[in-house]
Structure formats: structure tokens, C-alpha cells
A and B are shown apart, each in its own frame.
Chain A
Amino acid sequence: MGVNCHRTFRSRANDNAMLPDNEIRFDASGQAWLDQLVQRHQNRASQLLQMLREIQEHYGHIPHQIVTELAQRLCIPRARIESVASFYSFLHLKPHGEYRILFSDNITDRMLGSQPLMELMCQQLWLQPGKVSEDSLVSIGTTSCTGMCDQGPALLVNELAITNLNHQRVQEIVHLIRNRTPLGDWPADFFRVEDNIRRSGLLLGNALAPGELLRNALSLGGTNIVESIKASGLRGRGGAGFSTGLKWEACRNAQGSEHYVVCNADEGEPGTFKDRVLLNQQADLVFEGMTLCALAVGARKGFLYLRGEYRYLLEPLQAVLQRRRANKLLGTSILAQAGFDFDIEIHLGAGAYICGEESALIESLEGKRGVPRNRPPFPVTHGYLQQPTAVDNVETFCQAVLALHMGAEQYRTIGTAKSAGSKLVSVSGDCQRPGIYEYPFGVSVREILQDCGAVNTLAVQVSGPSGICVAESEFDRRLGFEDLPTAGAFMIFDDSRDLFEVARNFVHFFAHESCGFCTPCRVGTSILKQTMDKIAAGHGTRYDLSEIENLDRVLQTTSHCGLGRTACNPVLHTLKHFRPSYENKLKSLMFSPAFDLDGSLARARQMTGRDDAGAHLREIE
């Protein structure tokens, strides 16, 4: 940028009077630690998010003074650091407790009883949700789906996942926190994450050895790999279903000083957890796919962007990478092929669903706020650092290896005409056997429901909140790009559930995750949330339903990215199929205020000590 950082930023680092309460004293050892951190990240501002994550892991938050020091070292404005840190919900610029508890707030967690458990924990720790305890020991809040829907309710403590919460487990956690037990000494059982694989197919049942496919692919060369992948009909498994071969071809053909491969492991769509299982079970296959892609597009560097919620997978994944380097499957001259150099770096997210959008993910990789870019240009030509970049989903990389291994013709025999291969489905909600099910594309909703032991099913939310709500009359619809495209979420609701509450949970999710870049999504999702809350509180009218229709029009047509464009879907779909669950909450009136009129006099009554008839308002006159 050519800006003199000492001029642009007036340091007041020595002015300790400026520091808020609880700020750390930044002594020589702190300086040394920070120097080391910055050096390890080669002084690159593009590593900012990764540095901030490490700072938070070290201090529990990102201290004011460290922001100043880091800005000086990286020669960037301190406001930029605040700007980035404040974008990610797991990062805190203020002390947020030694133990930071976040309950996963997906509808499936709620159905498994997360809310009373959170109330219990708050009660026992004398704490209000969203607040930090007075002794700075603990904070309790909620976060978007943590991807443990098959073993919920779940929470994160300092970003480590705890599953299968129940009354007893919550009380044990309270006890551990009160005793200030270090996380390392908590029972390992708490942190156990099961794969729950219920049905395997060509992917989960594969018997490929690490490097096996790569060895065969070397002789093919980039162009032939691209042609084979194109011929296999492989489409992206992240939900949008773009042809993987065409993407790789466009990236390969794009001009650039470097090409990059990015694996999107920011599995944030509520109800989806298949990438978590793949990264645990099939890490070699994922990395093999990325390396294959590198060979195809001519990349020397790859990133795996791992959502912060899967922080616990970092070390195991690093170990797999290390083993692959040792086995010459990564690094320079892979498999002794001169000139085939490729390595993979893992970047962690920090609580931002929007980073699952590929251009926002790239921004985040560059150490910025995860705001989706204006497109065109697309990442295949202008991606990471404006260079050609192939971004694919975890499952897509696995499928690419299998497609090449089986051969295009064979691969195409699996699935349907326009959806080749198999699909991992993350089944959760009201059924006996939640978990991961692999099916060839074309499987019907009804078949999955039978396999997982779902009874009295009212509806299935396919592909998460931004997907489609399928009612019983449509259970013969089939998964696949021809009919029901899906990233893999399959949340089941039986006839004891109120679909309005499901939609309201999803609407809250979108409002919480809106990046705030564009007007319609930033403001519209908040207004939509208010309207749904108004209906839930018994103040809704038909007027509010027409408001929702108007909001949908604005959000769908003017939003910057898919988040805003689909934010009204859960409401529209449930309105279509389950209108009574809205209507029985509505007043018969044309209009009703969003707030309780009498309640809004409460403060004045309290201040004046009045309670006469005139000090009250009947709602309708």
C-alpha cells in the first residue's frame, strides 16, 4: 500500500491509563511471544486471522495492547485488526472469561433439549447468557450449529466440542469450571466425537491406499485428468453442483503467476456434518484429491479452510499432512516426479458461516473480513491473492479421486443422469439412527426416512436452512441436481414439532450470520427476525405475513450473495406447507404492534409507583 505506518497510526502504547480493566500487562516475555508468532507467520498480513486465533488461544481474548503491537509489527492500521477480529464471532477484543461456553443453537440441538440445559448451566454458575461472570471466570452464550447434530446437544468450550450433553454432564462441567480445572484435565469422554456411519458406499467403503491414485494420475498429466473428471460428470458436493471438471479446466487455463487449490471445509450449513466425518475418516483421500487437483490445474500451494468449530481436528489433520510429506505425497518432487511440487496449509475459521461462500472464504484466507466478493471475476481466474484458484468441497475432492480411479464411464453408472456418483447425507432430528448415510444420487426422501428409522415424519429440511422444506406429500422426491439438490443436511421433524419454530430458528441463524455488507441482507434479516419473534410472541397479524412476502422479494432479488437470497426460504417453504402453524398464532386483527403496549408502561409505573387503571393500557380498544 506504500503507506508509512508510523505516520498513519499515532501510538499511545505507553499510556497505560488508556487500558480498560482486566487488560494484560505486556512485558518482555509477551513481546518475545508476539515476535515469535509474527515471525512464524512470516510477517504476512494475510495470516492475520490465523495470528489472531493464536493470540486468543494464548490470552483467552485479543488484548487491546496486543492489537496495537501487532499493528506496528505488521505495518497495518490497528483499525484493520479490530475490523477483522470483530467479524468473527469466536474472537473477542474484550476479556470473555477463562472458560468460554457456546451452546450449539441449531434446531436439532433444541429438539434434544439444549435450551433447558443452558438455563441450568447459567443458573448454577449465576450467569446470564451472553454475559461474562463478574470474576471473569466464565461466559455462556449460543453459537450457530457446531456440526454435532447426530450427537447433540453440543457445546464448545474454548472452541473444543463437547457432545451428548445431558443434565449430569452439564453439572459435571459446572463443577470443573468452578474448580478452575484446566481443559486438558477434563474427562476425555466429554470430547469424544463419533462418526456414526450408518451406510457406506463407494466413498466411505473405498479401499484406496494413500498415494495409490496419485501414482496412476502422474502418467495422465493435467489435461487428461481434467478431461476424465469432466467426462465423469462429477459435480460439486457443496450444494451448488457446478461441474468440477469445468472448474478445474477454467482454473488450469487461467493466466496467473501462481495457481491455488482450496478445500472448503467450512461446513457451516446447519444440519450438515459429513465433512467432519470425512476429515476424520478419510483425510488421506481429501488430501489426495487436493493433490490431484493441484496436478490438474498446476498449483503448488493448497489450503484447507477448516471451520473453527472443528478445531479439535487440526492436530490429527496436521499429522496426516506430515505423514504424507514423509511419504513423498506432498512437498517437492512428489512421488519423485521432478517439478511436481505441492503442499497444503490448514487455515482455521473463527465462527463465520458466510466463509463457506467461496469468495468470502478466500477473503478470510487472505486474513480479511469474510465478505463475499463481487463476481465476476470468479475465483477460478481471480481467487486467492487474485490468482487462479480452484475451490472445492471436502467431499468433492474425495469423489474426484474415486471418479478418476473408477474411470468416467464406470463412475457415471452410479447415481442419475445429471448427478453422477454417490452423496453423503447427514441425517439428524427425529429418527432412531442419526448419522452419516452414503447413497447413490437418486435416493428418495422416503427411502432415507425408512433406513434411519423415522416415524410419523411431518417434514424434512433438505440441505439446511437455505435449502428446501419437504412435506410428506413430497417424500418421493429424490436427492440429486435434477430434483432436490443438497449439500447433505437432512433434518427430520416428526408430528410433535412446530414447523414455525423451526423456521424461526433458521431465521435467527441467518440474521446472526449475515456479514452485513449489503443493505438488504444486513437490515432485512434483522427485520425478518423481529417479525418472526413478533408472531411467536402472539402479536402477529396477516399484515406481518404480507410484510414477510415483501421482505422476501427484496432479499431474494437484491442481496449480494446466497445468504440473503435464501434467508426467507425457511419461512416461505413452511408457510406453503404448514400455514396453519403460522395462522394459529396470528391475531384476527389486521394489525397489531410488535410490542406489548401495557408492558411498555412498566418502567414508568415502576418509577412513579402508580398502579391505577390509568397506569395500564388494554391492548385493543
Chain B
Amino acid sequence: MSKKLRVATTSLAGCFGCHMSILDIDERLFPLFDLIEFDRSPLTDIKHCGPCDIGLVEGGVCNAENVHVLHEFRKNCKILIAIGACAINGGLPAQRNHLDLGSCLTEVYLTEPGLLHGHIPNDPELPLPLDKVHPLHEVVKIDYFIPGCPPSADAIWKFLTDLIAGKTPELGHGLIKYD
């Protein structure tokens, strides 16, 4: 048996729903584990990505930390896959894109009724938000996309097994979903 493919996963501005769908692959994870092993991922708790064959990134890019993580993934993963609606078009977080970031922060931290001594958090530990939420492909080159909110376990399974088998991944009716 040839060497296992190394796979990293992460969630940026996402809800981990796509990761739940990965887990939903369920008992088929076992044959999948014969073919792949995980590097950086919430499943392994490895904090930084080493050289990988495949990177799966959930969520869009909404702050500076997301940019760092995405760059780390792009640098280390031969194939980078955007998984889920947020990674592909910004999704729910991107619905702030037509608003000015400053007025968002002002409303949430300063003028929202019921706030006492509100201030906009400025701790250097916190990543700063970007003025717009970006889909992954606007920040780095993305090789493949698995749409869905989240994509179903079947869709992820089909996509990954196609890819691992060296075929162009195709989802087809029922598996390709934008919602």
C-alpha cells in the first residue's frame, strides 16, 4: 500500500457545520482512513500545518488571523479545497459586506441599547476584522470547491474519493447543493 495522503482541515469564518458533515461520513471514515491521515485539523488538535496533499478549508476570510491561517494552508497543501457556502461566497458573514465596518463596530459595541461603558475591543490579542468578508478564492488560489451549507457527507465522500482516485470530482444531481 502506498503512502497515505496527508490532509489538513480548518474552519475560518465558518460555523464548523462543514466539519460536522465530514464526521457524518460516519462508518465510511474507516476505509477513508486507510487512504488518508490528518495533519492540522480540529480532529487532531495539531496547531500548525505541515506539508500536506490536501487542505480542506471551511468558512470565509473575515479577519487577519483567517488570512494567516489560509496562507499557511496554501503554502503547505498541494491541493486546496474550499468547502461550504462561506468558503465559496462568504456566506452568512459576508452579508455585512454592503455595510461600512466602522458603523458595524459602532452599532455593536457603542450604540446598541443596553450597553454601559461600551468600547470597541482593541486588545492586541484579538485579530482585526477586514473591511469586507472574502471568499477564499479572492485571497489565495483555490483548486476545488465543494458547495453546500453544509455539503452533505455523501457529497464530501464522493468528492474526496473521486479526487483520491485521480478523477475530476463530480457531484451530480442530489449531491451538488448550494444550501
Interface residues in A599-621 by Cβ distance below 8 A to B read: 600-610, 612, 614-615, 617, 620-621
| Stretch of A15-23, A192-200, A212-220, A588-596 that contacts chain B | A588-596
Q: Is A208 in contact with chain B by the CB < 8 A criterion?
A: no
Q: Is B112 in contact with chain A by the CB < 8 A criterion?
A: no
Q: Is B127 in contact with chain A by the CB < 8 A criterion?
A: yes
Question: By the criterion CB–CB under 8 Å, are B120 and A621 in contact?
Answer: no
Contact of A605 among B68, B128, B140 (CB under 8 A): B128
User: What separation, in Å, do the CA atoms of A596 and B132 have in the docked complex?
Assistant: 12
Q: Chain A residues near B121: list those with CB within 8 A.
A: 608
Number of B interface residues in the complex (CB < 8 A):
27
User: What separation, in Å, do the CA atoms of A252 and B132 have in the docked complex?
Assistant: 59
Q: Chain A residues near B100: list those with CB within 8 A.
A: 603
Question: By the criterion CB–CB under 8 Å, are B139 and A593 in contact?
Answer: yes
User: What separation, in Å, do the CA atoms of A299 and B141 have in the docked complex?
Assistant: 61
Q: Is A79 in contact with chain B by the CB < 8 A criterion?
A: no
Q: Is B101 in contact with chain A by the CB < 8 A criterion?
A: yes
Q: Chain A residues near B138: list those with CB within 8 A.
A: 593-595
Contact of B101 among A604, A610, A614 (CB under 8 A): A604
Q: Is B67 in contact with chain A by the CB < 8 A criterion?
A: yes
Q: Is B96 in contact with chain A by the CB < 8 A criterion?
A: no
Asked if A609 meets B64 with Cβ closer than 8 Å, knowing A604-B130, A604-B131, the reply is no
Interface residues in A542-572 by Cβ distance below 8 A to B read: 543
Interface residues in B55-111 by Cβ distance below 8 A to A read: 64, 67-68, 71-72, 75, 100-102, 105-106
Asked if A591 meets B124 with Cβ closer than 8 Å, knowing A597-B67, A603-B101, the reply is no
Question: By the criterion CB–CB under 8 Å, are A621 and B141 in contact?
Answer: no
Contact of A607 among B120, B125, B127 (CB under 8 A): B120
Taking the closest CB of chain B, its distance from the CB of A160, in whole angstroms, is 38
Q: Is B122 in contact with chain A by the CB < 8 A criterion?
A: yes
Q: Is B118 in contact with chain A by the CB < 8 A criterion?
A: no
User: What separation, in Å, do the CA atoms of A608 and B121 have in the docked complex?
Assistant: 7
Q: Chain B residues near A606: list those with CB within 8 A.
A: 102
Question: By the criterion CB–CB under 8 Å, are A610 and B124 in contact?
Answer: yes
Q: Chain A residues near B68: list those with CB within 8 A.
A: 621
For residue B130, which residue of chain A has the nearest CB? A600
Taking the closest CB of chain B, its distance from the CB of A242, in whole angstroms, is 44
Taking the closest CB of chain A, its distance from the CB of B103, in whole angstroms, is 10
What does DSSP make chain B's interface, helix, strand, loop or mixed? mixed
Most buried by B among A590, A607, A615: A607
User: What separation, in Å, do the CA atoms of A488 and B140 have in the docked complex?
Assistant: 44
User: What separation, in Å, do the CA atoms of A591 and B142 have in the docked complex?
Assistant: 10
Asked if A614 meets B105 with Cβ closer than 8 Å, knowing A603-B131, A608-B121, the reply is no
Question: By the criterion CB–CB under 8 Å, are A615 and B124 in contact?
Answer: yes
Taking the closest CB of chain A, its distance from the CB of B112, in whole angstroms, is 15
Taking the closest CB of chain A, its distance from the CB of B174, in whole angstroms, is 27
Taking the closest CB of chain A, its distance from the CB of B114, in whole angstroms, is 21
Contact of B120 among A593, A601, A608 (CB under 8 A): A608
User: What separation, in Å, do the CA atoms of A612 and B105 have in the docked complex?
Assistant: 19
Question: By the criterion CB–CB under 8 Å, are A621 and B75 in contact?
Answer: yes
User: What separation, in Å, do the CA atoms of A25 and B147 have in the docked complex?
Assistant: 55
User: What separation, in Å, do the CA atoms of A606 and B128 have in the docked complex?
Assistant: 11
Question: By the criterion CB–CB under 8 Å, are A615 and B128 in contact?
Answer: yes
User: What separation, in Å, do the CA atoms of A593 and B132 have in the docked complex?
Assistant: 13
User: What separation, in Å, do the CA atoms of A620 and B129 have in the docked complex?
Assistant: 18
Most buried by B among A543, A591, A602, A608: A608
For residue A616, which residue of chain B has the nearest CB? B64
Contact of B124 among A593, A594, A614 (CB under 8 A): A614
Question: By the criterion CB–CB under 8 Å, are B71 and A621 in contact?
Answer: yes
Q: Chain B residues near A621: list those with CB within 8 A.
A: 68, 71-72, 75
Q: Chain B residues near A597: list those with CB within 8 A.
A: 67, 130, 139
Q: Chain B residues near A591: list those with CB within 8 A.
A: 140-141
Query: 1/0 per position for B128-153, CB-CB distance to A under 8 A?
Result: 11111010001111000000000000
For residue B125, which residue of chain A has the nearest CB? A614
Q: Chain B residues near A602: list those with CB within 8 A.
A: 131
User: What separation, in Å, do the CA atoms of A222 and B179 have in the docked complex?
Assistant: 65
For residue A610, which residue of chain B has the nearest CB? B122
Taking the closest CB of chain A, its distance from the CB of B14, in whole angstroms, is 19
Asked if A604 meets B128 with Cβ closer than 8 Å, knowing A617-B64, A617-B67, the reply is yes
For residue A591, which residue of chain B has the nearest CB? B141
Taking the closest CB of chain B, its distance from the CB of A204, in whole angstroms, is 54
Interface residues in A93-152 by Cβ distance below 8 A to B read: none
Question: By the criterion CB–CB under 8 Å, are A614 and B127 in contact?
Answer: yes
Question: By the criterion CB–CB under 8 Å, are B141 and A543 in contact?
Answer: yes
For residue A615, which residue of chain B has the nearest CB? B128
Question: By the criterion CB–CB under 8 Å, are B122 and A614 in contact?
Answer: no
User: What separation, in Å, do the CA atoms of A609 and B139 have in the docked complex?
Assistant: 25
Nearest 6 interchain pairs by C-beta: A591-B141, A608-B122, A604-B128, A621-B71, A600-B130, A603-B101
Additional pairs, 20, CB under 8 Å, beyond known A602-B131, A604-B128: A543-B141, A591-B141, A593-B140, A595-B132, A600-B132, A601-B64, A601-B130, A603-B102, A603-B131, A604-B101, A606-B102, A607-B120, A608-B122, A609-B122, A610-B128, A612-B124, A615-B64, A615-B124, A617-B64, A621-B72
Please, could you name 6 A-B residue pairs with CB atoms under 8 Å apart, sorted by A?
Answer: A543-B141, A601-B131, A604-B131, A608-B121, A608-B122, A621-B75
